[in-house]
Amino acid sequence: MNKKILIVDDDPRNIFALKLTLKARGFDIKTALSAQEAIDKLKNDNIGLVLMDMMMPDIDGYQAIGMIRKIDKLDHIPIIAVTAQAMEEDHQKCIDAGAADYIKKPIDVDQLLNVIEKVS
């Protein structure tokens, strides 16, 4: 398993909390504050997994996942959708957009680690 994770979130506080938690568990963490920054980093770095916030301004997580899935070199990277939207249809919408799985905010660390292991 490639232990390099890209966290994509427009809120630096969310990135900070996730980064601390995952670094403490041995993951190499990269960050992006926007979808475009994420795509640039994915093209130039050997990322093993993406945690994608779904509610971002400009390009939201659904659009970002769609953009990533259209790039041959990146279409295989597992993407976990991270969202405060907790309805069952939101889960399916994330999967339909191309996410490998979905996790709700606030994030339960044990659940997140299980999802990372499952999709990696």
pLDDT digits (tens, 9 = 90+) for 56-98: 988 999 999 999 999 999 989 999 999 987 777 888 999 999 9
Does residue 12 register a pLDDT over 90?
A: yes
The Cα–Cα gap between 42 and 6 comes to 8
Tracing tokens 């979130």 back to the chain, one arrives at 9
User: Please, which pLDDT band fits residue 45 given cuts at 50, 70 and 90?
Assistant: confident
In this prediction, residue 93 carries a pLDDT of 92
* pTM attached to this predicted model: 0.95
In this prediction, residue 85 carries a pLDDT of 76
Counted domains in the chain: 1
Q: Could you give the angle at the alpha carbon of 40 between the alpha carbons of 20 and 95, nearest 5°?
A: 70
Give the chain's mean pLDDT: 93
The Cα–Cα gap between 55 and 3 comes to 25
32 beta partners: 8
The domain that holds 54 is classified in CATH as 3.40.50.2300
Q: For the chain, what's the residue count?
A: 120
**Which domain, by its residues, includes 85?**
4-119
